[in-house]
Amino acid sequence: MMGSIPVTLLITITALLLRHQPVVGDMFSASADLANTFRLEQQVVNVLGELVAQTEAKLGIIRQYLKDYESVVEEKAASEEEFMERVAGNPIHAYRLMKRLYFDWQTVEKEIKTDNWRNALRRLEQVRMGAKFPKEEDFFGAAQALVRLQDTYELNMTQLARGNLWGRQTRAELTAQDCLFMGKHAFNAGAYARAVEWFEESYILAGQENNRTLRQDQVMEFIQHAINMHDDTLQQTKKRHPMAVLSHTNSFRLPLKEKPAGVQRSEIIRSRKYNVGKHITDQDDATNFNALCRGETLLNDKLLAQLKCWYDSRRQPYFLLMPIKIEQNSMEPAIYTFHDVLSDDEIETIKELAKPLLARSMVQGKTGVGHEVSNVRTSKTAWLPEGLHPLLNRLTRRISLITGLKTNPIRDEAELLQVANYGIGGHYAPHHDYLMKGKADFELNDVERGGSTAFPRAGVAVKPVRGGAAFWFNLKRSGKPDPFTLHGACPVLLGHKWVSNKWIRETAQTFNRRCTLDANE
């Protein structure tokens, strides 16, 4: 399908409370699944809460029996024989003895024989039979998402562990054990620099917790091992490749035995420089992508001053009373945001249509053949056939009027509408869409923190705005790929992200987007 229009249209949908819907695949990569999983936990907690209440009531009866007995023992006596004579000779003690072993004991014996655990276990099994519990891949996926978020947004680990997500304070916190696990995850991925930082945070928390979740001496062993691995790897890399530019996630510039991790991280952040233009490296792509995700501005003031916003009716009667609101995000490549393309009702309809069809997103196989699940893209997607709902045909027509391109998937002018839902740290690493000429991304919700679409070579990021649509051409007019359309979805830091994509094919646009005599245009 070479020559299909990588025109990209992103439409954003706002995240609301979701009804239970079956979703295919893992549980951490889509917020729809996460909402259902929290509901599942609510059922589990309800059963456990009832079990605790029943157990506490049982223990209360037993404690009361013991308390009544202890009131007898309070009688002071020089010897056991004197004690027995005093108790046995007291008519009140005699009465209460009979009461305890006849009347009270019946209640105690009944409570002991009642098996609340078996009933609770049966109810928990019923809950599990009707729902999907997280598996190991979900646990590791959630951990990987946290490590990715900290790395991308340069989150202060101390603040992150205390629930501060990029300036938004929440009640969620990490324990020393949690941070240790994050460090292990980073270490196993070869990110030794980040591993040391996570382990050091775990050490601090262990002290503050008074070694409740784990001991500081245990954490120190991990810190020393990670430092040794970092320094050995750094030394070996410099010997083999003296001019190599190392990832700041995997390695610091100097051995940690010479300069601590915290000092080196601060120096890296202060000295960071960005390169936007034709002479850009893969390392620049990664650095720029993360910077754009953090909301940093990479374009100079002169370029920013040339960007405009305007209303446009496209000379279409359809838009005379309500012209298109256009925001120019970039001049080269040309990237635009069309605002208020979808209404709230249309957004909710698209989400409801997509929920039962969501499955784990895939990428092209490493050999270029087939598709596979990959950590470079963590989300779930659904493809919506045109005949599924009347709205889809109307939306296809609307996209055509806005873009001036043919977009009917039945006539092979475009792909079906794709809906994507991003979960914990959901992202899509920078990539090209050369197989498609144009792309329109419809944003179906506002994302509280993160979730932008970043173009590291163009030096711009488009923030998700509910009902808006980002649009760009992936191919030049000549049909050649435009390398500056490299783009990726920034990790969702807080909130949810729903987005709908419409890829438009080039071969159907012969008379709608004519080529020029310049092969580079």
The DSSP-derived string for 294-356 is TT---S-HHHHHH--EEEE-TT-GGGSSS-EEEEEEETTTTEEEEES-S-HHHHHHHHHHHGG
What is the percent of the chain where pLDDT is above 90? 54
Q: Are 433 and 441 in contact (CB under 8 A)?
A: no
pLDDT score, position 416 = 95
Is the pLDDT score of 147 beyond 70?
A: yes
**Which of these ranges, 234-238, 274-278, 377-381, 473-477, has the smallest mean pLDDT?**
274-278
pLDDT, average across residues 259-288: 85
Q: How are beta strands 5-13 and 469-473 bridged, if at all?
A: antiparallel
Q: How confident is the model at residue 366 (pLDDT cuts 50, 70, 90)?
A: low
pLDDT score, position 509 = 86
Distance separating alpha carbons of residues 112 and 176, to the nearest angstrom: 39
SS3 call for 425: coil
How far CA 341 is from CA of 47, 453, 513, in Å, comes to: 45, 18, 22
pLDDT score, position 370 = 61
pLDDT score, position 508 = 85
Compute the mean pLDDT over every residue in the chain, rounded to the nearest whole number.
86
Is the pLDDT score of 474 beyond 50?
A: yes
User: Is the backbone peptide bond immediately before 333 cis, with ω within 30 degrees of 0?
Assistant: yes
Is the pLDDT score of 53 beyond 80?
A: yes
**Of 173 and 371, more confident:** 173
Backbone angles phi and psi of 297, in degrees to 5: -95, 125
Q: How confident is the model at residue 361 (pLDDT cuts 50, 70, 90)?
A: confident
Q: Which two tokens stand for residue 268?
A: 């890296």
pLDDT score, position 365 = 64
Q: How confident is the model at residue 25 (pLDDT cuts 50, 70, 90)?
A: low
pLDDT score, position 254 = 92
Q: How confident is the model at residue 449 (pLDDT cuts 50, 70, 90)?
A: confident
Question: What pLDDT, in 10s, does the model give residues 292-312?
Answer: 999 999 999 999 999 999 999
Distance separating alpha carbons of residues 145 and 84, to the nearest angstrom: 68
**Of 517 and 370, more confident:** 517
pLDDT score, position 263 = 94
pLDDT score, position 392 = 96
pLDDT, average across residues 195-205: 96
pLDDT score, position 15 = 33
pLDDT score, position 61 = 93
Is the pLDDT score of 51 beyond 80?
A: yes
Q: Which two tokens stand for residue 487?
A: 């783009």
pLDDT, average across residues 496-509: 90
Is the pLDDT score of 1 beyond 50?
A: no
**Of 13 and 164, more confident:** 164
pLDDT score, position 438 = 65
Q: Are 337 and 326 in contact (CB under 8 A)?
A: yes
